[in-house]
Chain A
Amino acid sequence: MKTIDWIIFGVYLLTIIAIGVSKGVRSRTTQQFLLADRRMPWWAIGLSVMATQASAITFIGTTGKAYNDGMKFIHFYLGLPLAMVILCVTLVPLYHRMKVYTAYEYLGRRFDEKTRLLSSILFLISRALALGVVVYAPSVVLAMLLNWDLKYTILLMASVAIAYTVLGGIQAVIWTDVFQMMLMFGGLVFCGVWMVIHLPEGVAFGDAMHLAGTVGHLNALDLSFDPKSKYTLWAGLIGGTFLFLAYFGCDQSQAQRLLTSRSLRDTRLSLIFNAFLKLPMQFAILLIGVLLFAFLQFADQPQMHFNPKLPDAITHGEHHDDYTTIETSYGEAFAVRRQAAQSLIDARPANDAAVLNAAQSAYRTAHQRVVEIRADADRLVKVHDDAYEDTNYVFPTYVLTQLPVGIVGLIIAVVFAAAMSSIDSELNALSTSSTMDIYRRHIRTNAGDRHYIWASRLLTLLWGLIAAGFALYAKYLGSVIEAVNQVGSYFYGSLLGVFVLALAYKRGNGHGAFWGLIAGMITVCIVGPPWDKLEKWDWFWSQMQDHHWLKPDGSPPWDVAWLWLNPIACAAVLVVGIIVSELTRSPDDRDTSTDASLAD
């Protein structure tokens, strides 16, 4: 980073802090601090919803995934428009009618206090874990830029985010999100255009797409039905819809935005706005990753790993020579692939099917060789550092090595904007839920507004510190983007299930909701345990082997992709919730559901 980059980055940070300070000062009541007095316009809420979801992970992780695996991650977002429509019809009108502060307050009114408390605690745990990962991602970039240890960058990132979020309430969060989302759109368009313009000489956009397509990087739609596969149309449409229903409707970090609008119409517009814009935005980000794949194979120097922090045993220890040997092979394979890529590009205009097929076959073989050698290198590195992770370093490496002075600072600001716009929303939601669902309800029940504003600020600080603590361990979770959603999927299905029970089953009661929620969590733990993590737990795995619970090839007895955990947990909550509600329902039970459910 040059001086001009630092100046641009500094101006961005100062602007954000200025907005945070100016908006925070105006809040005098809890309704102003936590709900912006319910006066936000729909377009600001819509942009804030987008910005909250699009964290730095979106830029770093998604482009890295597209570089390695192509467009298939787009499946994940296919359920989003469906979820938006369902929310507009179901939960959103109820939230507006009941004028709640948190999504869990609605459950308290519909069922009972213990259901509200349990759902709020589940939200707090899942969001605090996810927030740790969200803090971790931009810290990766900062560590690379400054050549600092990751833990110092995490602490720096967290302290800036905490300070600015404590100062501003939800108004500051939404208005900074608007600014940051515009910055993200600008950065995204710039990166895409720059990459297309600066493709190597003789390589047109169509050539780059053809290269990517030849190795399956443009397989954007998988129609197969395989529960083990994470990215299929059905996993996206069914699992994704459940996930986004839970995320936008039942997760306070998004639901809080929906509670700040002037009217029901404004909230619906903000969700429809997202239904239309989110998919093209994700497509564009993935396309940048795919173009990166085409671009970097013409680089002068082959780069086997992008994360410069290789284990000591690799850089100058016992396996240094082995790694160097693999690196040499990689360089040779890389040169062969580049030649094959050029031959394929040269063969395209002739339109001779036989020549084109031969060129494609040669390129595919050369690419497979590159992938295999890289996999060998990965295995060697992971012998010494199991948590070594490379996906999230691809895009930052491109930014640092290929973009001009000044623009580097801008793109780094974009990555930070993406991170800040998620961190502030999540900190604010964690503090709102812990203040309104727990502190105000169970600890200090009759204090003044000023007291709760300060309690909310202190809790923001506390949650920020917890998130920073978790961020220090986030690198052990592998690819950042999946980690965040994986954490969510262990909780979201159950949370969604209890909301569905509230809305759709009039006879559901507090006991049914409470035990349904617990059953949903237990079901997720049984159906979708993190096998890859459990494999490393020697005692557990030897017990599995001794009891012949593993398959003959030593693999886990069952394996369900995490997107499916959402509908499975939701179904478990509903089944147990309905049974327990019926078993515990007495003839004298008063029906409290009429004003808080959709069922008649």
Chain B
Amino acid sequence: MNEPDHNPDPESPSRGWIITYAIVLIYLAAVIGCLHLITQQYASAAP
């Protein structure tokens, strides 16, 4: 007897994947924030 199919659409992102994607986007925002801080840090020195 076949196992019951708990995930009828395995290609649709599960909650775990959605959280992963959210983490990637938060990470991108953090990187942009860090770059902004670096730029600001030296903004007084730069022309």
Contacts and interface: CB of A to CB of B under 8 A. Distances in A.
A221 B25 CA distance: 18
Interface in A77-103: 78, 81-82, 84-85, 88-89, 93, 96-97
Contacts of A233: 32
A220 B36 CA distance: 7
Interface in B11-46: 11, 13, 17, 20-21, 24-25, 27-28, 31-32, 35-36, 38-39, 41-43, 45-46
B47 interface: yes
A321 to B, nearest CB: 34
A220 B47 contact: no
B10 A264 contact: yes
B24 A216 contact: no
B28 A268 contact: no
Interface string A562-589: 0000000000000000000000000000
A210 interface: yes
B46 A213 contact: yes
A221 B27 contact: no
A275 interface: yes
A220 B21 contact: no
A364 interface: yes
Nearest to B20: A272
Given A78-B28, A81-B27, A360-B45, A218 B21 contact: no
A275 B39 CA distance: 23
A210 B39 contact: no
Contact of A214 (B10, B32, B36, B46): B46
Contacts of A47: none
Contact of B11 (A78, A97, A210): A97
A539 B33 CA distance: 49
A215 interface: yes
B15 to A, nearest CB: 14
B34 to A, nearest CB: 9
A42 to B, nearest CB: 13
Residue among A74, A213, A364 with max Cβ neighbours from chain B (10 Å): A213
A89 B41 contact: no
Interface string A122-165: 00000000000000000000000000000000000000000000
A276 interface: yes
A221 B35 contact: yes
A272 B24 contact: yes
Nearest to A271: B24
Interface of A: 71, 74, 78, 81-82, 84-85, 88-89, 93, 96-97, 209-210, 212-216, 218-221, 233, 264, 268, 272, 275-276, 279, 360, 364
Given A88-B21, A215-B47, 14 more contacts: A78-B32, A81-B28, A84-B24, A213-B42, A214-B42, A216-B47, A219-B42, A219-B46, A220-B35, A221-B32, A221-B38, A272-B20, A275-B24, A360-B45
